[in-house]
Amino acid sequence: MAMISQLFVLSQRGDNIVFRDYRGEVQKGSAEIFFRKVKFWKDDGDGDAPPAFVGIFNVDGVNYFHVRVSGLLFVATTRVNVSPSLVLELLQRIARVIKDYLGVLNEDSLRKNFVLVYELLDEVIGYILTFEIDGTIQMKSYLTGNPEIRLALNDDLNIGRRGRSIYDYSSSYGSGAVILDDCNFHESVHLDSFDIDRTLTLVPSDGEFSVMSYRMTQEFKPPFRINALLEAAGSLKAEVILKIRADFSPSVTANSILVQMPVPIYTTRVSFELEPGTVGNTTDFKESSKRLEWGLKKIVGGSEHTLRAKLTFAQEPHGNIAKEAGPVSMTFTIPMFNASGLKVKYLQIAKKSNTYNPYRWVRYVTQANSYVARL
Cα–Cα distance measured from residue 210 to residue 199, given in angstroms and rounded to the nearest whole number: 16
Instruction: Give yes or no: residues 208 and 355 share one domain.
Output: yes
pLDDT at 168 over 50: no
Asked which of 96, 125, 154 is the last residue of a domain, the reply is 125
Asked which of 91, 125, 159 is the last residue of a domain, the reply is 125
369 part of a folded domain: no
Instruction: Give yes or no: residues 211 and 345 share one domain.
Output: yes
Instruction: Give yes or no: residues 264 and 153 share one domain.
Output: no
pLDDT at 33 over 60: yes
Instruction: Give yes or no: residues 89 and 171 share one domain.
Output: no
SS3 163: coil
The total number of structural domains in the chain stands at 3
Could you tell me which of 9, 27, 28, 25 has the C-alpha nearest to residue 17? 9
Instruction: Give yes or no: residues 158 and 213 share one domain.
Output: yes
Instruction: Give yes or no: residues 36 and 118 share one domain.
Output: yes
374 part of a folded domain: no
Return the CATH number at 21.
Answer: 3.30.450.60
371 part of a folded domain: no
- With pLDDT > 70 as the criterion, what percentage of the chain qualifies? 84
Which structural domain range is residue 137 located in?
133-220+339-363
Q: How far is CA 40 from CA 17, 34, 37, 53, 55, in A?
A: 21, 10, 6, 16, 14
368 part of a folded domain: no
Return the CATH number at 228.
Answer: 2.60.40.1170
pLDDT in tens, 77-117: 988 888 888 888 889 989 988 998 898 999 999 999 988 88
Q: Are 24 and 6 in contact (CB under 8 A)?
A: no
Residue 86's pLDDT is what? 82
Please state the rounded mean pLDDT for residues 125-131.
66
pLDDT in tens, 318-366: 777 877 888 888 899 998 888 888 888 888 887 766 666 666 666 667 7
pLDDT in tens, 205-216: 888 889 999 998
Instruction: Give yes or no: residues 48 and 98 share one domain.
Output: yes
Asked which of 100, 125, 150 is the last residue of a domain, the reply is 125
Instruction: Give yes or no: residues 118 and 11 share one domain.
Output: yes
